[in-house]
Structure 1
Amino acid sequence: MTDYKDTLFLPETDFPMRAGLPAREPDWLARWERLGIYDRLRAGAEGRKPFILHDGPPYANGHLHIGHALNKVLKDFITRSQQMLGRDARYVPGWDCHGLPIEWKIEEKYRAEGLDKDAVDVVDFRQECRRFADQWIDVQREEFKRLGITGKWDKPYLTMDYHAEAVIADEFMKLVMNGSLYQGSKPVMWSPVEKTALAEAEVEYHEHTSHTIWVRFAVQTSALEGASVVIWTTTPWTIPQNRAVCFGPGISYGLYEVREVPEGAKMDAAEKVILADALAESAFGQAKVTAQRLRDVSADELGALTLAHPFRGVEGANSEWDFDVPMLPGDHVTDDAGTGFVHTAPSHGDDDYQVGLKHGLPMTYNVLEDGSYRADLPLFGGEVIVKPDGKEGGANVAVIKQLAYAGALFAKGKLKHSYPHSWRSKAPLIYRNTAQWFAAIDKPLDDGMNEHGDTIRARALESIDRLVKWTPQTGRNRLYSMIENRPDWVLSRQRAWGVPLTCFVKKGAKPTDPDFLLRDEQVNARIKATFEVEGADAWYVQGFKERVLGNLHDPDAYDQVFDILDVWFDSGSTHAFVLRDREDGSPDGIADLYLEGTDQHRGWFHSSMLQACATKGRAPYRGVLTHGFTLDEKGMKMSKSLGNTVAPQEVIDQYGADILRLWVAQSDYTADLRIGKEILKGVADSYRRLRNTLRFMLGNLDGWSEDERVAPADMPELERLMLHRMAELDGIVRKGYDAYDFQGVFQALFNFATTDLSAFYFDIRKDALYCDAPDSLRRRAARTVLDLLFHRLVTWLAPILPFTMEDVWLSRFPSDDDSVHLHDIPATPSDWLDEALAERAKTVRMVRRVVTGALEAERRAKTIGASLEAAPIVHLTEAQAQIVTDPATFADLCITSGVTLSTETAPDGAFTLDDAPGVAVVFARAEGQKCQRCWKISPDVGSHAHPDTCARCSAALG
């Protein structure tokens, strides 16, 4: 027999079956950099509507983790897809450079070298911090670029750039001028280890074991004299600062008499105590005593009581606590836990502080910045609450012992609970009263920007409700409730590396005095101009105060503030020096989108909102999109101690960045995402299947010429069905990308590529592509569809798989100057949609499914080896027969050598499927001989000019 293999039009392509992504991706990165892809897109974007995704700055102090990769890949999906949808999608990456983590690293280095940080010139110290940040920016930049992230990498924004520092200072000075800045003494979250105040966004909660104590406060007046009010607290160290006890006006209280006490207990059997009824039993159980309720104690009675501090009259107390302790009503008091009474230390808790403000309670200053008591505090001077290593000091135990000695300790225990820690040092925090600078978020602002409210809070809430689109919508609720209930913003930090609070205060003036703060636009302008040239370091150079006050004010009349700004104010101000000031910023200084993890509702989304509302009058963004956290395969939080972390570089080294990006695309990023070895294997398998589809297209487009193109109207129905599917998908892809539904986009494209194309269209049309004559309408139409598919499928997928789609594009269109990423997604004609054809196709494909099922049963029974050996009889209903009309065409669809269509009743035993009513298939063998070129079996094989061929193949051979 003649071998006709060389006469077939088999696929030819240099596109490799194996991707080799880890080795090949760096070459594409170098190519994109050489071509200047990002800048060329910007240069050619005239007339396009801008789309600005403003980058939330990562912190410049370590290698990237998988959360960084998730975040940046999602941003890249958006910027690439918006660009290819016809927008001018600008993306300026940025870094957060100031703050405690970097300062802490330099301090660690100093400690290791035996150096004293305080002995080093502050400017030299800041310069070392700057160098540290610079080093990590370079490292992280390359790691981000390796992920295939497109952006203005040669000119990112840095919060430590001189212009950025000048703008941050200028934004702060707007608060000075509009009256929202004030200095107040109030309790703030304080890190004794880092010796600075922390914002809520810098706090994380971990399990912690605390001392719990039940303490008697003796009643000094009224008919209840001789009884004690019992409080409960988990912070014994705050007892020396107690100035009141609060009760809940709506809570039921009782007077109880102790009846039985354990041997050796410092308690009288007839002792009387007042407790909330709901909590009395648990309190007595903790004290290991029994008691009897004597009577109700009303809220009016409680409000009239005066108590003695537990350390009143104690030997060695030097009268420090010889004052009356009032009983005060408090809405924050509950009977969920404790005793129903809340020990109140206004210097060490926000609820306590608010009660203190309302009732004029005095503030205390017993606790120093390192978490120790002031040295001259009687009984406890020098005791430490939290030691420099983050471990508990002796203050709690010292207080508990003194309470026991004074006979005030009713009971004690331990409690494991969630407790605030510094997210940097991981050490426990305390509430501590200090003089800090605040932004008043409820003070009316007279700044001419009151369209959305006249206070920071009002503007923020209005922005959240009316000006911002939230994805998912739950993000709106979360931020709204946070801002609705938050206190004033603590702006000051007692550290060195950051932008200083560029303000001056009048010597001798009180914070409440109208001239306490120097407010002068000329001074502010000088500060900003100096920072533009010299950076914020200039603030710390000897003589700076004299330079900027100069001939405007007497420098000796003012003190210069040396606290630094909360770094969240830095990152919250980025809209001003990126969106507003850069040429590639936003035309109106507002971003289309901020995209970060859900934790940023209390972080960057939050600080950006407050900062912009204070200085711009509204939110700096129109949209906020949030993603979940990354977990291991079992749903556990990743940690180095558990050994379950997945580093981006490890995935890239094994699989390539496109596999990591595909993991992101296949995941529901709105929830927490899992990643691990088995998950990545599954992702790699999906990639392999998709790559095979693309390779088939490339191979069968070899030698394509525009002369082959067939107009849609002249195409067979199968090709027109593929055009319909492309038009459908184009709508799905565009809508999905605009909705940031990358999982939906990829799933639609993957199902199309593997089901509609590889398992259906390609499988059917292989015969025509390989065996039909080059000028046959069917082959030309199929190749036309492949060409149209190529341009769409490759550009649809390019935002998700930029390396692979570049490989596919260049395999077909080799060029030294072109890239798939320089092209938009092509427009798809709406008249390709043919709903009537699609509806008929559902019936055809249903019937085909029954045929392939019948043939598979014969194959399993070893009756046939290949479907071309069959010519089945297909029984249809009259309605189905009106749609499936052409046996030859339907045989091609079923990949059989023939088919007989019948509307007669099917015989018993015919093959059927439950979900294909009316269709039955009876197996029959194809009659004739096998064509040695196409392998179809036909009676006419051997009767043509070319031996052992069918009519079609003989004609194709000429």
Structure 2
Amino acid sequence: MVLDGHIYRRVGQKPVHWSPSTGTALAEAELEYPDGHVSPSVYVSAPLLEAGPGASPDQTRALAGASLALWTTTPWTLPANRAVAVSVGMEYCVVEERAGARRRLVVATALREAVLARLGGGEDCDVGATWSTLCTLPGTALLGSRYEGPLTGDDGPRPVLDGSSFVTADSGTGLVHLAPGHGHEDFALAAAAGVAAVSPVDDAGRFTREAGHGLEGLEVLGEGGEAVAAAVAAAGRLLAREPYAHRYPYDWRSKRPVIVRTTRQWFASVSGLRGAALAALDDVRFVPGAGRRRIEAMVGGRSDWCISRQRAWGVPIPAFFYRESGEALMNEATLDHVTRIVEERGADAWWELPIEDLLPPQYRAEAVQLVKGSDTMDVWFDSGTSWASVLSEGGSAKDGTPPSPRFPADLYLEGSDQHRGWFQSSLLTAVAARGTAPYRRVLTHGFLLDEAGFKQSKSVGNTLDPRAVMLGGKDAKKEPAYGADVLRLWVASVDYTADASVSEVYRKIRLTLRFMLGNLSGFDPGQAAVPHAQLGLTDRYMLWRVAALIDECHAAYDEHQFFRVYQAIQRFCVTDLSNFYLDASKDRLYILGAASPDRRGAQTVLAATLRAMLALVAPLAPHLAEDAWAALPWPAPAESVFGGGAAAADPAWRDLPAADLGLMRALLAIRGEVNALQERARSAGLIGSSLEAAVDVHVSDAGLRARLAELQAAGDAQDTIQHACIVSQAALLDAAPGAGEGAVCTAAAVAIPGEEGAELRVRMRRAAGARCVRCWNYSEAVGADAEHPHLCHRCVPVVRALGQPAPTQAMA
């Protein structure tokens, strides 16, 4: 970067953030902006010496004897005032007191009432009664005016400059005090106008002799600021004082406020890299996508990067300086020589070796004229160049491993604050040295918060030890051990806002897996799986939902959005499995014969769902996934779940015709309404369990009603209304059922989601017949078989095939 001209040094010509508490320059990434900062702001007057060339004769007469009203939240910078900025697009006015001192001031018209109220003692001040407006004038009429500084004895008149790019009517007076030695915008505007910057403040944040007015040695952020305000008041130019709460930078290490001052520093030229850095981002994917906009805004708006620090530790900037001129010596020869020394002896060699040993042979004769630089590198420059060793070398000379270039990285992963830190410093250094970004993807995550909502920080001491979550504390009741999987699931769920705690979600997933494993006992999908084309509607719908889950989770994993995986799996377990499929399938899984096609169909779906869920859950909860994998009732394809391959959907699973999807929407809508009616029926004493109910259903759409009738007539256990709703009997009606004695009905027609114009009505009554002692369904066929008088028509052949004795009523 030095050889390409990206590194330069300025002496007293560029302001930087400076931390008096730690005695060093700071980069923007090392600043914090805590809440609650209050500055002792002041309103001061600066007497006009002459009007600008753009003022009319009437305006010039009004300006005679007037002072510019200035406002600053940093009164300690007033000794460094060298100019005032106005906006050419704003209107200003000259106001005069009606009595008393008859002060005459220049303020922005838009801020006139607010400023004069503060000068008059508060919001209740009658501004109109105490001040009169002599004239208004545009900002252009003030340009070129000359004024005297707010502190008497200041050297010479100062100019009024055009600061339209940052002067606003949001606060203050509309005229901005410029201290080029203590502000970035101040410096840029003053430098363009040829106005010199002064900075009468030392490394400890104390005024130097150049500040004058008896200020030498006073801390600018303490008694120095008070002394400046007192000096302004003694000169009769203090208009008002008030505390002002605003955003102010602090040193992130000492947690103390910083200042801005000009000092000798090394800089990396961001202006020379900005275009290439922004262009390099075109080849980078950001997760989330807003990260790109954030880093683009920061790179696009940042000033040149101050890369030097004044610390007693750190990586040195390998520069030599001529004693007399102060000119730096740092070129290809010196850099190569120092690099070889550091490779052999480490960075401490810069501090330990005499200057003669650090200089290459051609410069050793000049050693007496030179001194070693004492500046260290900004740690962000240090970490921002980590790609140069981590990605580019890869090998080790010690063990003979050959280098294996891996630049750029597949992924950079850090917190959301690193758009201004590591992500940005890595981008700038890599673009400067390699011409490209050091990463293909950038993932940013949020912060871990404490119970009060504050970011957990080692320096604050409010962190939670992950081991306490996994292993528990001394008091097992107050600090239970949750294990690693619960902690991992919590990490994956941090953006999720449902009421359920993660430990409950973990138990839900675990119990769902256990239910599926238990009902797959003795089943081998390689031998007994039902072909997809032979599966019933409900089974095919469920595999369609499994395919959707796989797609959703894979997309989320690709984007590193683990909370979306967590949400999808939780939603699938609760909504698709527990609340519907597993609930509705219990009857055929528990009641039908082991080799029944309906039962095999359910097991086929359970096996496919289990395999998919284990692969999807494994990255989040590996211990749980491995436990379930070890319990598979068929020969596992690999020793570990991580060797079993990614979750994959058969293409046939995604092929669910629109007509079939409409039927499923209707079944699910009917199930939802039946569940709602059950509560009313129980309250009315009509039924106890859901199997004591029978339902009558009317669907307004004739075509949809006909397709539902076909399902009912086919008698497939999994697809009939009664089995989908877990009631004993169901009938499809051609007309809407009316309310009758001993029944509860849908109060109003219910729309079927996704089926435009289709509505349904449901009536619930008590089921006819007797209860089967085996399946607990009510049927008029119970008692029809003399050998098994207490069984229904479905249970008789199963029990007969098993050769078991006839169940009795007592067995129920």
Shorter-chain TM band:
0.7 to 0.9
Q: CA-to-partner distance for each residue in 1:510-559, whole Å, 9 max, x for gaps?
A: 65xxxx44211x54334334333433222221226514524565451543
Could you say which residue in structure 1 is the equivalent of 2:357? 546
**What is residue 309 of structure 1 aligned with on the other side?**
149
**Equivalent position SS for 2:202:** coil
Give 1:242's aligned residue.
81
Q: What SS does structure 2 have at the residue aligned with 1:812? A: coil
State which of 259, 266, 273 in structure 2 corresponds to 1:437: 266
CA deviation string 1:362-391 (max 9, x = no partner): 3334211111122575433543335xxxxx
How far apart, in 2, do the equivalents of 1:238 and 1:590 lie?
46
Structure 1 residue 701 and structure 2 residue 520: aligned?
yes
Partner Cα separation in structure 2 for residue 523 and residue 372 of structure 1: 36
Larger mean Cα displacement after TM superposition, 245-254 or 230-239: 245-254
Matched residue, 2:806: none
Measured in 1, the distance between the counterparts of 2:675 and 2:240 equals 79
Q: Aligned partners of 1:420, 1:829: CA distance in 2, in Å? A: 57
Identify the residue that residue 389 of structure 2 maps to in structure 1: 577
Check whether the contact 1:690–1:753 (CA below 8 A) recurs between aligned residues. Answer: yes
Counterpart of 2:295 in structure 1 is: 479
Match of 2:767 in 1: 925
Q: Secondary structure at the match of 2:489?
A: helix
CA, structure 1 residues 809+533, in 2 after alignment: closer, same or farther (shift >3 Å)? farther
Matching residue's letter, 1:197 = A
Aligned partner of 1:126 in structure 2 is none
- Measured against aligned partners, the alpha-carbon deviations of 1:548-575 in whole angstroms (never above 9, x if no partner) come to 5245654515432221111111222222
CA drift of 1:957 comes to 1.5
Quick one: distance in 2 between partners of 1:897 and 1:304? 94
For the pair 1:179 / 2:5, whether they are aligned, the reply is yes
Q: How far is 1:785 from its partner?
A: 2.3
CA distance in 2, matches of 1:397, 1:874: 84
Deviates more, 1:366-375 or 1:696-705: 696-705
**Aligned counterpart, 1:230:** 69
2:251 to 422, 431, 442: 422
Structure 2 CA distance, aligned partners of 1:626 and 1:336? 34
Equivalent position amino acid for 1:804 in 2: L
Selected match of 1:773 from 593, 596, 610: 593
Match of residue 138 from structure 1: none
Give the CA deviation at 1:602.
1.9
Residue 407 of structure 1 pairs with residue 236 of structure 2: yes
* C-alpha displacement of 1:323: 3.0
CA gap 1:896/1:339 in 2 versus in 1, 3 angstroms: closer
Identity of aligned residues (%): 38
Query: Would the alpha carbon gap of residues 943 and 423 (structure 1) be closer, same or farther in structure 2, given more than 3 Å must change?
Result: same
Residues in 1 aligned to 2:532 and 2:761: alpha-carbon distance in whole angstroms: 31
Does 2:500 correspond to 1:658? no
- Indicate if the aligned counterparts of 1:236 and 1:396 stay in contact, CA closer than 8 A: yes
Aligned position for 2:377: 565
User: Partners of 1:256 and 1:536 in 2: how far apart?
Assistant: 64
- Partner of 1:109 in structure 2? none
**SS at structure 2 position matched to 1:730:** helix
Q: Please point out which of 253, 258, 279 is paired with 2:92.
A: 253
* Counterpart residue number, 1:81: none
- Aligned residues of 2:736 and 2:761 also touching (Cα < 8 A): no
How far has the Cα of 1:649 moved from its partner? 5.3
Q: CA deviation at 1:665?
A: 3.7
Instruction: Answer whether contact 1:887 1:900 (CA < 8 A) is retained.
Output: no
Query: How far is 1:659 from its partner?
Result: 3.5
> Gapped runs of 5+ residues in structure 1?
1-174, 262-268, 314-320, 387-391, 443-454
Distance 1:731 1:330, change over 3 A: closer
Superposition pairs for residues 671-682 of structure 1, below 5 Å?
682=501
How many corresponding residue pairs?
Answer: 739
Contact 1:346–1:353 under 8 Å retained in 2:
yes
The answer on 1:612 being equivalent to 2:430 is yes
Report what 2:108 is aligned to: 276
Provide Cα deviations, 1:765-787, integer angstroms capped at 9, x if missing partner: 22333343333333333223222
SS of the equivalent of 2:391 reads helix
- Label 1:766 to 1:505 Cα distance change in 2 as closer, same or farther (>3 A): same
CA-CA distance at 1:576 after TM superposition: 2.3
Q: Secondary structure at the match of 2:435?
A: coil
1:586 to 1:398, Cα distance in 2 relative to 1, 3 A: farther
The structure with more radius of gyration: 2
In the TM superposition, 1:907-946 aligns within 5 A as 907-909=738-740, 911-912=745-746, 914-915=750-751, 917-921=759-763, 923-928=765-770, 930-932=772-774, 937=779, 939=781, 943=785
What aligned pairs does 1:496-895 form with structure 2 within 5 A after superposition?
A: 496-509=312-325, 516-520=328-332, 522-543=333-354, 546-547=357-358, 549-550=360-361, 554=365, 556=367, 557-582=369-394, 589-629=407-447, 648=466, 651-652=469-470, 653=472, 654=480, 655-668=482-495, 682-705=501-524, 706-812=526-632, 818-836=639-657, 837-855=660-678, 857-870=680-693, 872=695, 874=697, 879=703, 880-883=705-708, 884=711, 885-887=713-715, 889=717, 890=720, 891-895=722-726
Of the candidates 156, 159, 164, which is equivalent to residue 323 of structure 1? 156
Which amino acid in the other structure matches residue 199 of structure 1?
Answer: A
RMSD: 3.7
Cα separation, 1, equivalents of 2:228 and 2:563: 57
Displacement of 1:434:
0.5
In 1, the alpha carbon distance for the partners of 2:81 and 2:462 equals: 46
1:293 aligns with 133
Gaps of 5+ in 2: 52-59, 122-129, 396-401, 473-479, 753-758, 804-812
String of CA shifts for 1:644-685, please: whole Å, max 9, x gaps.
Answer: 98665555434444344434444538xxxx8xxxx7863333
CA contact (8 A) 1:204 1:423 kept: yes
Deviation at 1:899, TM superposition (A): 4.3
Question: 1:298 Cα deviation (Å)?
Answer: 6.5
SS in 1 for 2:187: helix
Q: Distance in 2 between matches of 1:895 and 1:483?
A: 62
Mark the CA change 1:744 to 1:955 in structure 2 (over 3 Å): closer, same or farther.
Answer: farther
Residues 828-865 of structure 1: per-residue CA shift (max 9 Å, x gap): 21012232233332233334445555555444444443
Deviation sequence 1:897-954 (CA, Å, 0-9, x none): 4545554764543634623534544535342452347766563558476785531332
Q: Which moved more, 1:419-428 or 1:624-633?
A: 624-633
Pair 1:191 & 2:23 matched:
no
Q: 1:865 to 1:373 in 2, by over 3 A?
A: same
Report if the CA contact (8 A) 2:321-2:329 is conserved: yes
Quote the Cα distance in structure 2 between the aligned partners of 1:726 and 1:260: 84
In 2, distance between residues paired with 1:273 and 1:398? 24
Residues 321-370 of structure 1: CA deviation (Å, up to 9, x unaligned):
34333333333333443333322222111122112312332333421111
Conservation of the 8 A alpha-carbon contact between 1:930 and 1:938: no
Match of 1:495 among 303, 311, 320: 311
1:366–1:564: structure 2 CA closer, same or farther, 3 Å change rule?
Answer: same
Query: What is the SS of the residue equivalent to 2:214?
Result: coil
CA 581–839 in structure 1, closer or farther in 2 if over 3 Å, else same? farther
Cα distance, 1:823–1:367 mapped onto 2, change above 3 Å: farther
The one-letter amino acid of 1:802's match is P
1:91 paired residue number: none
Distance 2:85 2:689 in 1: 86
CA distance in 1, matches of 2:152, 2:764: 102
**CA distance in 2 between partners of 1:241 and 1:809 (Å):** 73
Are the equivalent residues in 2 in contact too, given 1:366–1:373 (CA < 8 A)?
A: yes
Query: What letter corresponds to residue 502 of structure 2 in structure 1?
Result: V
Cα–Cα, structure 1 residues 782 and 614, in superposed 2: closer, same or farther, change >3 Å? same
Q: Show CA shifts across 1:478-503 (max 9, x none).
A: 32232222110000010133222123
Q: Aligned ranges for residues 427-466 of structure 1 at < 5 Å? A: 427-442=256-271, 455-464=272-281, 466=282
Distance 2:463 2:608 in 1: 43
Match of 2:398 in 1: none
SS at match of 2:264: strand
Q: TM-score, normalised by structure 1?
A: 0.70
| Cα deviation, residue 796, structure 1 | 1.2
